[in-house]
Amino acid sequence: MEKPGKLLIGRRRFMLAAAAAPLATTLPFAQAAPHDPLPSWRNGTAKKAIMDFVGTVTNTESKEYVEPENRIAVFDNDGTLWSEQPLYFQLYFMIAQLKEASPRHPEWKNDPVFNALMTGDVNAIVKQGVKPALELLAVANAGMTTEEYGRKIDDWIHFARHPRFNRPYTDLVYQPMRELLAYFKANWFKNFIVSGGGIEFMRAWARHAYDIPPEHVIGSSIKVEFAMKDGQPVLNRLPKLDFIDDGAGKPVGIYRNIGQRPIAAFGNSDGDLQMLQWTAGGKGARLLGLIHHTDRQREWAYDRGSPIGLLDKALDEAYAKGWTVVDMARDWSRIYRFE
């Protein structure tokens, strides 16, 4: 992935230095065409809101100027940065892990969560929420070190394929959101993921997919414990949940891992509402974005009443408060990079 932040510095520095060398007559870089940082976003209210916001907070003449160190942007992951249909992608990974562990756990035979996952019963899975599935996963992989677990995730991400597109799941990252992350980063924002998904699952590929480093990924987690194993220090996974980073947990996760209030937040479901409210509650310019899944052809169309990615209270509040609702069918000229 290119690093626009660095390119920007390079260009700015070149122009400075060129100005200091009066005999140089050509400025090849300065003649480049005007650059659209969001080429997969169609012109419209959403794109304008994003660009106006970035223009305002980076303008040192503006009353709403924000120092780079305080330009914190938070993003939900499933349904906001990549697709989440027909099931949250991490559930496919969990199902594979549970299948592998099931011979050691005959007690799961009568477990409704286990059975819903094994039969792919979407309604039952979503009704139970992510917590019992994470609890089963914590039991399935208890005793594994964090590094062994990381390798399981790497393998799965490498080999697994999405049922509809027959492509690696990371191909289903939204190209417009990749551009938004890069645009923010070029303007010295710090981008964070704040997701209900497992923290290690996302950290394994977020750098590659989004240019977001592990320390900028906040998620749900299971307890780990430091131990010496064969003379080597390890962190062992325990069969116990530590933290659910969803709903009202998201502002708590932000407090734990960031410690300052974001100025921009993007989500796509009611599980993101408190994160959006918490972000909106600070002083100064704010950008609150809600990704609305409206494209039945290129992606999936869903919101109210959908079992996955339920968007009900958050959409009401977005309309009532004038947040930026991103209509995928209308606002995005391209959804995936492979199109």
C-beta of 199 vs 291, nearer to a copy of itself: 199
In sequence order, the 6+-apart residues with CB closer than 8 A to the CB of 60 are: none
Under rule CB under 8 A, residue 10 binds a copy of itself? yes
Of 253-282, binders to a copy of itself (CB under 8 A) are 255-260, 274, 277-278, 280-281
DSSP letter for 187, please: T
**# binding residues, a copy of itself (CB under 8 A):** 49
- Find the binder of a copy of itself among 78, 179, 200, 245 (CB under 8 A): 200
C-beta of 204 vs 325, nearer to a copy of itself: 204
CB of 54 to a copy of itself, least distance (A): 20
Can you say how many angstroms the Cα of residue 241 is from the centroid of all Cα atoms in its chain?
21
Count of CB atoms within 10 A of residue 244's CB? Answer: 19
User: Which listed range, 87-95, 152-160, 215-223, 314-322, lies at the site for a copy of itself (CB under 8 A)?
Assistant: 215-223
User: Which listed range, 95-103, 130-138, 179-187, 217-225, lies at the site for a copy of itself (CB under 8 A)?
Assistant: 217-225
CB of 69 to a copy of itself, least distance (A): 6
Under rule CB under 8 A, residue 226 binds a copy of itself? yes
User: Which listed range, 55-63, 111-119, 214-222, 298-306, lies at the site for a copy of itself (CB under 8 A)?
Assistant: 214-222
Cβ-contact 287, 180 below 8 angstroms:
no
- Find the binder of a copy of itself among 2, 215, 230, 339 (CB under 8 A): 215
User: Which listed range, 80-88, 134-142, 222-230, 300-308, lies at the site for a copy of itself (CB under 8 A)?
Assistant: 222-230
- Find the binder of a copy of itself among 17, 48, 59, 164 (CB under 8 A): 17
Count of CB atoms within 10 A of residue 285's CB? Answer: 18
Distance, CA of 178 to CA of 90 (rounded, Å): 20
Under rule CB under 8 A, residue 188 binds a copy of itself? no
Under rule CB under 8 A, residue 21 binds a copy of itself? yes
Query: What mask, x for binding a copy of itself by CB under 8 A, covers residues 137 to 176?
Result: ---------x------------------------------
Distance, CA of 14 to CA of 114 (rounded, Å): 59
Strands (E), 31-83: 72-75
In sequence order, the 6+-apart residues with CB closer than 8 A to the CB of 302 are: 85, 293, 308, 309, 311
Under rule CB under 8 A, residue 67 binds a copy of itself? no
Do strands 232-243 and 217-229 pair parallel, antiparallel, or not at all (unpaired)?
antiparallel
Distance, CA of 67 to CA of 57 (rounded, Å): 8
Under rule CB under 8 A, residue 24 binds a copy of itself? yes
Distance, CA of 221 to CA of 237 (rounded, Å): 10
Cβ-contact 85, 302 below 8 angstroms:
yes
Contacts 24+ apart (CB under 8 A), 222-225: 222/134, 222/137, 222/138, 222/198, 223/138, 224/146
Cβ-contact 118, 112 below 8 angstroms:
no
Under rule CB under 8 A, residue 217 binds a copy of itself? yes
Cβ-contact 247, 274 below 8 angstroms:
yes
C-beta of 47 vs 261, nearer to a copy of itself: 261
C-beta of 127 vs 256, nearer to a copy of itself: 256
Residue ranges binding a copy of itself (CB under 8 A)? 9-10, 13-14, 16-18, 20-21, 23-24, 69, 72, 146, 190, 192, 199-200, 203, 207, 213-217, 221, 224-226, 228, 232-235, 248-249, 251-252, 255-260, 274, 277-278, 280-281
